[in-house]
């Protein structure tokens, strides 16, 4: 199994190209199921999760073609065509690898009138039930049965009638599934308390490009008029705001100066505000976001929240960065109840962190030391990379397959700005 070795202490300086967004890509890929015409996505990141989702689409009879053997700095191009779906079953052996697989449920029942999807897997960061997805589809007229680890959704008469969906709490995935199911419903659908993340906006913009009728994009209320059919489209995946924020934290902890090329500041305002509050210089430039930390780091008090609040996917990276702040920071995790599994690993490197329920108190330390550490989930993995960049000596990060799910060419990008980092195998 591969490991990543980091010899810390180098100041990061230079330009990092930001890839297409993982969370957006995994939402846009299932849109291929909504039309029998070709759908081409540009700026797709080369990630394990994207490859897994491609295999899942193949399971349904969708053809996939990727242009180019190697990605450029600005992503791959994939063309998918679901001219004739040969299956509406998403099996356990594929779905267990990736929670985002549940996002085929809405488009399959929307187009085919039925779908059978295994309950998903993914990162072990707490209880993330799919009940909101199922209740949303029920509100649109679907009949739901859960048995033997599978969800079966059926549209009476072969097509969802549409309806009113009112989410009791904000859910990104459930909003995405509801939107994709609604665009082919017989009648209108109103989605209230919808998630407003930039990835939701990206999804709605793609669906509009395919002929969907959606009002209220970017707000908490979406009005969707179902269409009889959608057509194909060519669409560019938005830049990855979480990747950009992660490299910003990496630059900050090393006292570095980095341009995040292609990053969209408007999608990550809460992250940029928190960086500024920590004493990091943040400047928007024509083609990049410039971040620089030359005067040390200040402590923060942060609480995760649905967009436009501070993203839960940035909590671990900020925790690592704040290990070098001058003072005590308080981070509160409100989204997932088990997202502090990186704390013991950071402690092995000399971090001073105390967890009290959903809050973590991070006291900055003068010195961190490299150590063998184990990645537990995707964003926790990146927090260990960030800590390793600032630690004395060598850090060995194990279980790096988590990183491969969400960060494209991580070592290459960090090497390009001066990090001493490499991937090694057991052999």
Active site residues: 123
Residue 90 and residue 119 in contact, taking contact as beta carbons nearer than 8 Å: no
Q: How far apart are CA 226 and CA 162, in angstroms?
A: 8
120 annotated ligand-binding residue:
no
Determine if residue 129 is labeled as part of a ligand binding site. Answer: yes
Determine whether the annotation assigns residue 287 to a binding site.
Answer: no
Q: Give the CA distances from residue 401 to residues 124, 375, 397, in Å, rounded to whole numbers and listed in that order.
A: 14, 9, 11
Q: What angle do CA 96, 100, 101 make, to 5 degrees?
A: 55
261 is in an annotated binding site: no
Q: Is 127 labelled a binding residue? A: no
**Both structure tokens of 92:** 């356990």
Reply yes or no: is the peptide bond before residue 308 cis, omega within 30 of 0.
Answer: yes
How far apart, in whole angstroms, are the C-alpha atoms of residue 2 and residue 404? Answer: 11
Tokens of 189: 């659908």
Please state, in angstroms and rounded to a whole number, the distance separating the CA atoms of residues 50 and 22. 8
Tokens 């202490």 — which residue?
9
219: left (phi over 0), alpha (psi -120 to 50) or beta: beta
The set of residues, in sequence order, having a beta carbon less than 8 Å from that of 427 and lying 6+ positions away, is: none
Tokens 């990183």, located at residue: 403
- The answer to whether 273 is a known ligand-binding residue is no
Q: Which two tokens stand for residue 280?
A: 């990091």
CA distances from 135 to 138, 190, 346 (A): 5, 14, 39
- Check the annotation: does 131 bind a ligand: yes
Residue 313, annotated as binding a ligand:
yes
| 177-179-180-182 Cα dihedral, nearest 10 degrees | 120
Residue 16 half-sphere exposure toward CB, CA atoms < 13 A: 36
Name the 3-class secondary structure at 335.
coil
Which residue numbers belong to the known binding site for UDP-N-acetyl-alpha-D-glucosamine?
Answer: 99, 128-132, 313, 335
Which residue numbers belong to the known binding site for phosphoenolpyruvate?
Answer: 22-23
Which residue numbers belong to the known binding site?
Answer: 22-23, 99, 128-132, 313, 335
């Amino acid at each position: 199994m591969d490991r990543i070795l980091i010899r810390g202490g180098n100041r990061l300086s230079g330009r990092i190209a930001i890839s297409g967004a993982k969370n957006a890509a995994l939402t846009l890929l299932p849109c291929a199921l909504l039309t029998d015409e070709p759908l081409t996505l540009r700026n797709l990141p080369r990630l394990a999760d994207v490859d897994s989702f491609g295999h899942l689409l193949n399971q349904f009879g969708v053809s996939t073609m990727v242009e180019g053997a190697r990605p450029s700095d600005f992503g791959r191009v994939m063309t998918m065509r679901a001219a004739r779906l040969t299956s509406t079953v998403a099996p356990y052996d594929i779905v267990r690898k990736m929670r985002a697989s549940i996002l085929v449920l809405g488009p399959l029942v929307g187009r085919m009138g039925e779908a059978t999807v295994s309950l998903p897997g993914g990162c072990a960061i707490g209880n993330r039930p799919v009940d909101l997805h199922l209740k949303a589809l029920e509100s649109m007229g679907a009949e739901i049965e859960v048995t033997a680890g599978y969800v079966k959704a059926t549209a009476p008469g072969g097509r969802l009638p549409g309806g009113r969906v009112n989410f009791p709490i904000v859910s990104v995935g459930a909003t995405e599934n509801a939107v994709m199911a609604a665009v082919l419903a017989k009648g209108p659908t109103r989605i209230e308390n919808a998630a407003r993340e930039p990835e939701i906006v990206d999804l709605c913009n793609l669906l509009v490009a395919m002929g969907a009728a959606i009002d209220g994009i970017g707000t908490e209320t979406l009005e969707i008029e179902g269409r009889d059919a959608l057509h194909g489209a060519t669409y560019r995946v938005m830049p990855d705001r979480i990747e950009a924020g992660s490299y910003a934290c990496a630059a900050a902890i090393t006292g570095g100066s980095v341009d995040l090329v292609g990053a969209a500041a408007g999608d990550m305002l809460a992250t940029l505000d928190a960086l500024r509050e920590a004493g990091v210089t943040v400047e928007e430039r024509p083609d990049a976001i410039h971040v620089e930390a030359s005067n040390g780091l200040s402590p923060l008090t942060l609480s995760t929240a649905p967009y436009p609040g501070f993203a839960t996917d940035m909590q671990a990276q900020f925790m690592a960065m704040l290990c070098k702040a001058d003072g005590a920071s308080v981070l509160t995790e409100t989204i997932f109840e088990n997202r502090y599994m990186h704390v013991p690993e950071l402690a092995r490197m000399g971090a001073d962190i105390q967890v009290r329920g959903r809050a973590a108190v991070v006291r900055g330390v003068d010195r961190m030391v490299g150590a063998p550490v184990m990645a537990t989930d995707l964003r926790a993995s990146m927090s260990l990379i960030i800590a390793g960049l600032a630690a004395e000596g060598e850090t060995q990060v194990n279980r790096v397959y988590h990183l491969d799910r969400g960060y494209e060419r991580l070592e290459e990008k960090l090497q390009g700005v001066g990090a001493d980092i490499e991937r090694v195998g057991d052999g």
